Chains A and B, each alone.
Chain A
Amino acid sequence: MNTKPILLAALAAASLSLTATAADMRIWTNAQGRQVNASFVRLDGDAIILRTADATEHRFPLAVLSAEDQAFAKTAKPEAAPTVTANMPATEAAKIVDGLVLNGIKRSAEERTKAGRPVLTGFNPLASDEQFVRRVYLDIAGRIPNYEETATFLKNADRTKRSKLIDMLLESEGAKTHLYNYFAEMLRVKDDFEQDNVRGTPYIGWLKQQIAMNRPWNEMVYEMATATGKMWDKKPDGSYNGAAGYLLRDSGMPLDNLANTLTVFLGTDVACAQCHDHPFADWTQRQFYEMAAFFGATTTRLGGRDFKNGDRGKVLMEEIEKIVAANPSLDMRRLRNGLENYIGANRAAVKDRGENTLKLPHDYKYKDGTPGELVAPKFVTWSESDTENPAYKHNDQDSIRVRFAKWMTHPENPRFAMTIANRLWKRAFGAGVNEPVTNIDDPESSVNPELLKHLGSEMVRVKFNLKEFMRIVYNTRAYQSEVTADNLPMGEKYYFQGPMLRRMSAEQAWDSYMTLVLGKPDTYKAPLQDLYAKSIDLNLDTVDAQTVLIKYDAYRKMAEKERALMGGGLDMVGEDMMMQNKASRSTKKQDPEAAMDGPGKILSYEGLRLMRASELPQPAPGGHFLTDFGQSTRNLIDGGSKVGNVPQVLMMMNGKAQKMLTSSDSLVFRNMEAVRDPYERVERMFLTIMNRRPNMSEKDIAKRVLAQGDDGYSNMIWALINTREFMFIQ
């Protein structure tokens, strides 16, 4: 199980090419006169291998071909196998990935036959433009395309329009929020850290910023593992030290945090080794503790010894008490608890204390150690050769935590690149090459080891540039195929003949609703992100009691400020882009700034804030659309759910969101009203909601419905957003 990035030479040796262009295609005729249009791949003994336009290879005896074709084949040049080059374009790199997927599909034949499942011959048919545009917006930008975006793509006759759309979407605001949602779920990112007044706000801001900058994954993870200080410390460049939130999220639970770190970043699920040796793997409890020891000198809660003059919390409270006593309008009894929590939040900081103090648990029962014994840090290995791996070399000057971070994020770490590559693959296809993505126990036992290793090495080649990696994945023929229509029982191997049919995530569903409501939902951002960091920060070494009181007051007023920003209704949506309708629609005086970007008013509808899921509380409060739809509570890794339930369906049928869309104020109606003919209106409605044109029978239904009365349009909107077709990504 050598997991070093595979040698490129090995790839070159394999036959992977999909480079057959129209020019290489020719008509082949067999002895009976039957014809096939295909390109020549190579001869293999007495056999000839041809490739048809659907990228499938066919192998048959050379002798069946006409004499003329046989002669042609004998002189023809075998198809050149493409090789990975350092800066090859994503579209070319995608072809190599496709080759490996196809190999896996072919190898599946025996197993499929055994399981009584039909043998796969190649990729699913190419997805239609209508299917593709909806899917790729949902997968990259996290929402359905709006009417204009759909219509523009469908009308475009450019042969390379798909890869151009991918490029455009990867740069979009939507791509950032969608990737943020993914990592927020994976990393269990929350607003409320459940410790005093500690909020994840600066951590969330940091994460969003890193994604916006397309910071390489290895650097992001390195910074999370090594950050020191409070989350709201300001760095020289003016940004916040939010990366500290990664360790502070699990403050007081260093063993859990380590188990999570290994699981999400290294695809190594050793959580059970926290308490005992892993029942089936080679992991021992001792190994787990040896890994945890890298964090054994690190605290996530400051105590007296971590301050210059000891912890001044108690002294400050005494001084505050005196000030309060002198002011008859203040009541210490009502302030004490809040103030203590407020001061306490500033003890939430990451700090290295120098000495590793991690000990084996007091109930340690194995022979390789004794309870309470100090554990020295030591890296785990996945194979014997790992110790020769450059990732395992360390610099004595580095602190133990830095050594860990360097090892973990090293390009040659046996699991780091592969884990994120496998995760992003699953994000596009609905299944990882290795399942579960949290446990790449043995790459060789994954569904397609060759593919898995290649994706890992591609991640290294693009230098952990996630955008670049995704560009390759979304440009594959495999991804651009129709989704698989068969039922796939849980746990059955999947060979990536196309993406799986997936239900929208809670965030995709909400953000798609927001697209239907707002048109361009990315222009609406949560304001005041900074306010928390500014008002919570105290320097406990120097701050005086008076300042604490003033800042505490500002902290408490923060929520009020936020409430004051609420306002703005549906009819304010898209003022800037819907000027032509403004005169007819505006019945009351409006603030034209309301819908503009920046810290303007928050639009809302019956208490629902109209902005993307990433801008709402993390996670959304109980009873919110997002909660009912299965948004992760952010307690478990990848904790979202895509299962239906009664409250969710009730909300779809009777909730505020459907009411908002079926109201004659909604953007769907406004899109329709731009044209007069009822059938064109129906077409616009379908393009807005389903991102496809209605078929013949749907047009007939629409005709019947419209003849029945005025509520026909809103009934159809209601019906469409309640279809399974709307909820599932084709």
Chain B
Amino acid sequence: MKSELLRLNDASRRQFMLDTAKTALGVTLLPGLSSKMAAAEQVASRSGPGTPGFGKAKRVIYLWMGGGMTHIDTFDPKEGATKGFSDAVRAKGDNIVSLGGYLPKLAANADKLSIIRSMSSKTGVHESGTYIMKTGYEPRGTIVHPAMGAWASHFLGRIKDKTLPDSVVVNSGSSYPGAGFFPPATSPIPISNPETGLQNIEPTASDVQFKKRVSLMNEFDTGFRKKFQTDDVKAYTEFYDETLKLMKSEDLKAFDLTQESMETREKYGRNNFGQGCLLARRLVESGVRFVEVQMGGWDMHNTIDNAMTNNGNTLDTAFSALLLDLEAKGLLESTLVILGSEFGRTPDVNENDGRDHYPLAYSTVLAGAGVKGGYAYGSTDKEGRRPADKQTSPQDFLATVGHAMGLPIDEVVMSPSSRPFTVADKGVPVIDIFA
């Protein structure tokens, strides 16, 4: 019932479209494709060493608002027909003007933020929306694409002189794209609870006994590993090797929040997201390159005013504490803090006083690492329904991050299955937001 297209893989689908275009339309390229190619050329001229902001982000903290963050009640407040339940607050930073009333602390620190208000994507589904905002690709049944931390490990190499991982993801669920087609060792370490950090780092036996056990494990497993040389089995063996290295690491205290004063811990908010942000600061301070901190509860189909009162406060407190802390430690100049979500929420409030999924317009936020302060890039129309100008895709957003990290975003990398991929799938970095 479906056209031939769906049965083809990516590459052959593209070829099929080209062929169809040639024969049926009498043109050599589909309009969409030609603009993509033009965009690719643009990337080459606009990113790379010497361009504004390139490589300034030595570390990245990605604040993930899981569930679809309402843009109108947070970073893109509106008056009139679609106004939310709270009044907007005046933001420090002229260009931003105001933020949603649930975010007073961030409004007072808006001079550190750049907001992209003209985000727009195609999918209103949690799974694929999340996947695109983390990998720059739509999910496919035939490959898993790498998240940004793994791309950075690929191009910049593993972090030297450290036994810590390159990437960490805090408060995560189990299905995370992670390393994608890159080696499993480049996948982020998941920390399910920041309060407890990394658990089980001490062996329950003496060092001598532990060593005996490990070598015994390898001996008993020889036959199996010889017979089953599959990617899955090899990946596990790599994880064991990585973990054994990490267990000896001096840097492990980076995962331990009890090293922080009570005062600092309170400042971030005593909840998983707040403490996760604090953990993120500790980790980037110790040299971890890419930390994602997840926060749930944004799927506000019902009584959004209540939900925003809680979530807004948690976000407001943690995000502003993180910015101030990074600044005080002198880390903000080299640390990029970004905030994203799978989509926005409907400008119209539904019958349950909530808002539903809305991918056509939403906001992302960037701060630190040479990003302009108090700057709004792009805007939505009067009611927050569509980008009014400078429409920005998830790919453009991630390309901006890749650019800030100094990744060669136009360089083609072949997956083990010999398919070509680039950082953020040919997105065009938003150079304007860099000072």
B-contacting residues of A (Cβ < 8 Å)?
Answer: 1, 194-195, 251-253, 255-256, 259, 271-272, 274-276, 280-282, 301, 362-363, 382-383, 435-436, 441-442, 445, 485-491, 501, 503, 506, 622-623, 627-628, 630-633, 635-636, 639-651, 653-655, 658-659, 662, 695, 698, 701, 705, 708, 711, 715-716, 718-720, 722-725, 727-728
Contact = CB atoms under 8 A, between A and B. Distances in A.
B164 to A, nearest CB: 11
Contacts of B239: 644-646, 648-649
B220 A723 contact: yes
A633 B175 CA distance: 9
A281 B7 CA distance: 11
Contact of A650 (B247, B360, B385, B417): B247
Given A632-B174, A715-B213, A645 B189 contact: yes
Nearest to A632: B174
A725 B123 contact: no
A622 B199 contact: no
Given A282-B2, A718-B213, A725 B178 contact: no
A691 B184 CA distance: 30
Nearest to B210: A653
Interface string B155-187: 000000000010000010111101000001001
Contact of B357 (A275, A648, A649): A275
B184 A281 contact: no
A642 B231 CA distance: 13
B203 A646 contact: no
Contact of B235 (A382, A644, A705): A644
Contacts of A648: 239
B216 A719 contact: yes
A365 B292 CA distance: 36
Nearest to A380: B1
B435 interface: no
A646 B174 contact: no
B225 A724 contact: yes
Given A281-B6, A715-B212, A485 B142 contact: no
A195 B201 contact: no
Contact of B352 (A301, A501, A623): A301
A640 B247 contact: no
Contacts of B199: 623, 647, 650-651, 655
Contacts of B192: 622-623, 627-628, 647
B321 to A, nearest CB: 22
Nearest to B122: A276
24 contacts: A195-B302, A253-B356, A272-B122, A274-B124, A274-B357, A275-B124, A275-B359, A280-B6, A282-B3, A441-B2, A442-B6, A485-B227, A485-B230, A623-B192, A640-B175, A646-B246, A649-B239, A653-B200, A701-B216, A701-B219, A705-B216, A711-B209, A720-B220, A725-B224
A662 B237 CA distance: 22
Given A628-B192, A701-B219, A647 B125 contact: no
Nearest to B350: A252
A636 B124 contact: no
Given A275-B123, A282-B3, A701-B220, 14 more contacts: A253-B301, A253-B356, A280-B3, A486-B230, A506-B174, A622-B193, A628-B190, A635-B126, A636-B127, A647-B192, A654-B200, A711-B209, A723-B221, A725-B220
A407 to B, nearest CB: 17
Given A362-B348, A643-B178, A490 B233 contact: no
A445 to B, nearest CB: 5
Interface string B1-18: 111011101000000000
Contacts of A627: 174, 192
B174 A623 contact: no
Interface in B129-168: 140-144, 165
Contacts of B230: 485-488, 501
Contacts of B348: 362
A498 to B, nearest CB: 13
Contacts of B217: 718-720, 722-723
Contact of B417 (A489, A639, A728): A489
Contacts of A701: 216, 219-220
Given A275-B357, A651-B199, A645 B3 contact: no
A206 to B, nearest CB: 24
Contacts of B354: 252
B286 interface: no
Contacts of B178: 643
B196 interface: yes
A171 to B, nearest CB: 31
B257 interface: no
Contacts of A195: 302
Contacts of A445: 7
A701 B200 CA distance: 28
Nearest to B230: A487
Nearest to A718: B213
A276 B358 CA distance: 11
Contact of B216 (A623, A636, A715, A728): A715
B216 A641 contact: no
A716 B196 CA distance: 30
Contacts, number: 223
A383 B1 CA distance: 6
A649 B216 CA distance: 16
A490 B230 CA distance: 11
A483 B135 CA distance: 33
Nearest to A708: B212
A645 B213 CA distance: 20
A649 B126 contact: no
Contact of A259 (B2, B125, B214, B359): B125
B202 interface: yes
B250 interface: no
Nearest to A722: B217
B42 to A, nearest CB: 24
B191 A489 contact: no
A274 B125 contact: yes
Contacts of A628: 190, 192
B221 A724 contact: yes
A639 B173 contact: yes
Contacts of A632: 174-175
A648 B224 CA distance: 21
Interface string B302-323: 1000000000000000000000
A654 B204 contact: yes
A1 to B, nearest CB: 6
Contacts of B235: 643-644
Contact of B201 (A631, A645, A650, A715): A650
A264 B123 CA distance: 19
A487 B229 contact: yes
A164 B196 CA distance: 47
B184 A723 contact: no
A723 B224 contact: yes
Contacts of A363: 360, 385
B263 interface: no
A267 B179 CA distance: 28
A555 B311 CA distance: 27
Contact of A272 (B125, B203, B302): B125
B202 A654 contact: yes
B416 interface: yes
B223 interface: yes
B20 interface: no
Max chain A C-beta neighbours (<10 A), residue from B189, B199, B237, B354: B199
Interface centre among A275, A485, A651, A705 (most CB of B within 10 A): A275
B422 interface: no
B209 A630 contact: no
Interface string B104-125: 0000000000000000001111
Given A281-B1, A623-B192, A650-B247, A644 B175 contact: no
Contacts of B214: 653, 719
A627 B173 CA distance: 8
A646 B6 contact: no
A275 B5 CA distance: 21
